[in-house]
């Protein structure tokens, strides 16, 4: 039995050596170079391929068992020397693109990295136009390649930002490929929450590859990119919705679920509007950080500029500052921002105002109540006008002008909802009054059309009666003539 096992072991080792060459420790190429104490052999000693028993000839070709240099570097034995340009990645792909070989070494790495690289933004042609911008060794190095799980690897999570920054922080280099691309991403990243945790030695927070991918990086404007606007919430959610992964940071993990229900999330995720705010619009991207009390309004104000301006001059500004309340978030929330409706305004149980203004005798309570009554009256006026317009339209009357006037009411309503942020009932009333006047005019036009319809019906009835009477009289007259 022992002899059988020994024979099987010997055959197994022979097969490995036949396929992959002799183990690196017995590799004549390595032994020779190590005696010369050159840089390559020193690095290769700590290389993951050396540890797996892969010889120098695994990448450079040739006969690693030959004592003679000429025999070892015989091109007929497959010697290619030092790979240049795209040949570098092609040599890597011979093994890393072959699932059978990779599984033979016990590797669980995907075998599509080379294809992903070729089709990525880094796979485009370099300035000279003959090779791709990035090769495998650009990020992984050549003779001292470490496992991704090794803290000394350039692509270990703690080291990735520095690895990427070697190119992306070089203004002269980046200018040749994309002059509009910022070169301060690494500096911004180090100032972010993710960057600070990464610098402190925590490998879990997001780094470049977490958001952009690794081998399959696409341009930001590519709809397949992980950081294309519509895809950003899902990318952030990979970590931020994982309760187990986020447990040590003690922050909520329901942000994506709430955002999906929000007015912003519906616009982006359901209506595919790339202009709608995603996570990075509020939190930043490379300099991502939770918005502070003061910064929330600044972030919202980049889109909702007039609302922010009105709030800044309102009585609420001082009160919010004194109580250290976030401005926009206090009333509208953060991730689950819903469409603003009349229900938010006023002193009903569902209103936002009542959460602070509970005293019926206070000016805030009275102002909120008055503004709600005004905005409701605008809706009632519009609805009443719409009923009359529909009646007139069903009767076949032309009420185009009245319908256009109602469109103006919609604009007035938007202005009123904006004016709410001034919290000045008199200014709010001025805006609403314009809408009430337009609604009254539209109702008057619709009533006029209905009246005209009735008048026409009566006129038509009288006309028909007279025509019938005339016809009957003519009939009698003709009969009398015929009798004579």
Q: Could you give the dihedral angle defined by the CA atoms of residues 130, 131, 132 and 135, in that order, rounded to the nearest 10 degrees?
A: -170
Position 2 scores a pLDDT of 42
pLDDT at 67 over 80: yes
The string over 288-310, giving b where at least 16 C-beta atoms fall within 10 Å of a residue's C-beta and e elsewhere, is beebeeeebbebbbeebeebbeb
Single pTM value for the model: 0.80
What is the C-alpha separation between 399 and 385, in angstroms, rounded?
A: 11
More confident site: 1 or 352: 352
Identify the pLDDT of residue 127.
85
Question: For 79-133, what is each residue's pLDDT tens digit?
Answer: 999 999 999 999 999 999 999 999 999 999 999 999 999 999 999 999 888 899 9
Residue 20: per-residue pLDDT: 43
- Averaged over 235-240, what is the pLDDT? 96
Check pLDDT > 90 for residue 292. no
More confident residue, 117 or 475: 117
Q: Where are the domains of the chain?
A: 148-217, 363-474
Per-residue pLDDT tens digits for 168-203? 999 999 999 999 999 999 999 999 999 999 999 999
**Helices marked H in 203-334:** 208-212, 232-240, 243-246, 255-261, 263-265, 279-283, 293-301, 305-312, 315-323, 327-332
Q: Is the pLDDT of residue 70 over 50?
A: yes
C-beta contacts of 29-32 below 8 A and 24+ residues apart:
29/55, 29/56, 29/57, 29/60, 29/62, 29/64, 29/72, 30/55, 30/56, 30/64, 32/69
The pLDDT score that the predictor gives to residue 77 is 87
Beta-bridged to residue 125, according to DSSP, are 132
438 contacts: CB under 8 Å, gap ≥ 6: 405, 406, 408, 409, 412
Average pLDDT of the residues in 446-463: 84
From residue 313, give the alpha-carbon distance in Å to each of 318, 329, 391, 477. Answer: 9, 18, 45, 86
Confidence of residue 462 (pLDDT cuts 50, 70, 90): confident
pLDDT of residue 12: 38
Structure confidence at residue 387 as a pLDDT band (50, 70, 90): very high
Q: Which of 17-21, 241-245, 284-288 has the highest mean pLDDT?
A: 241-245
Residue 267: burial class (beta carbons within 10 Å; 0-12, 13-18, 19+): middle
**Banded model confidence at residue 364, pLDDT cuts 50, 70, 90:** very high
Please tell me the predicted confidence (pLDDT) of residue 1. Answer: 42
What topology does CATH give the domain 363-474? Butyryl-CoA Dehydrogenase, subunit A; domain 3 (1.20.140)
Residue with more model confidence, 275 or 13: 275
């Amino acid at each position: 039995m022992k002899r059988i096992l020994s024979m099987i072991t010997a055959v197994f080792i022979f097969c490995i050596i036949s396929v992959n060459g002799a183990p690196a420790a017995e590799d004549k190429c390595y032994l020779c170079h190590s005696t010369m104490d050159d840089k390559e052999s020193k690095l290769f000693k700590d290389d993951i391929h050396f540890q797996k028993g892969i010889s120098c000839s695994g990448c450079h070709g040739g006969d690693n068992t030959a004592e003679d240099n000429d025999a070892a570097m015989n091109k007929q034995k497959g010697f290619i020397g030092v790979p240049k340009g795209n040949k570098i990645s092609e040599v890597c792909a011979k093994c890393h693109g072959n699932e059978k070989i990779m599984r033979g070494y016990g590797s669980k790495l995907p075998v599509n990295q080379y294809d992903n690289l070729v089709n990525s933004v880094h796979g485009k042609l370099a300035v000279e136009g003959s090779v791709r911008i990035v090769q495998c060794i650009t990020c992984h190095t050549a003779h001292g390649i470490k496992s991704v799980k090794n803290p000394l690897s350039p692509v270990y999570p703690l080291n990735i930002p520095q690895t990427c920054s070697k190119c992306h922080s070089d203004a002269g280099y980046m200018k040749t490929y994309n002059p509009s691309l910022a070169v301060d991403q690494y500096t911004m990243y180090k100032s972010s929450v993710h960057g600070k945790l990464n610098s402190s030695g925590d490998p879990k927070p997001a780094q470049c590859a977490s958001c952009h991918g690794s081998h399959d990086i696409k341009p930001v404007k590519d709809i397949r990119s992980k950081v294309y606007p519509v895809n950003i919430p899902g990318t952030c959610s990979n970590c931020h919705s994982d309760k187990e992964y986020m447990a040590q940071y003690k922050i909520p993990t329901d942000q994506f679920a709430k955002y999906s229900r929000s007015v912003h999330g519906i616009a982006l995720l359901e209506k595919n509007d790339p202009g709608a705010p995603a996570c990075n619009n509020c939190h930043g991207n490379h300099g991502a950080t939770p918005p502070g009390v003061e910064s929330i309004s600044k972030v919202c104000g980049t889109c909702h500029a007039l609302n922010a301006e009105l709030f800044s001059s309102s009585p609420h500004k001082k009160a919010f500052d004194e109580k250290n309340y976030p401005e926009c978030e206090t009333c509208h929330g953060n991730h689950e921002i819903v469409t603003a409706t009349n229900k938010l305004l006023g002193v009903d149980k569902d209103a936002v105002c009542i959460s602070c203004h509970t005293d019926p005798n206070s000016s805030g309570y009275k102002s909120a109540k008055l503004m709600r009554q005004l905005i409701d009256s605008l809706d009632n006026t519009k609805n009443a006008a719409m009923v009359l317009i529909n009646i007139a339209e069903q009767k076949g009357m032309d009420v185009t002008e009245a319908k256009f006037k109602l469109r103006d009411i919609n604009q007035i309503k938007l202005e009123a909802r904006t004016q709410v942020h001034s919290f000045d009932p008199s200014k709010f009333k001025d805006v609403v009054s314009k809408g009430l006047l337009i609604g009254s005019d539209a109702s008057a036009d619709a009533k006029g059309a209905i009246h005209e319809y009735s008048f026409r019906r009566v006129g038509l009835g009288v006309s028909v009666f007279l025509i019938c009477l005339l016809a009957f009289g003519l009939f009698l007259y003709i009969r009398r003539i015929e009798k004579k």
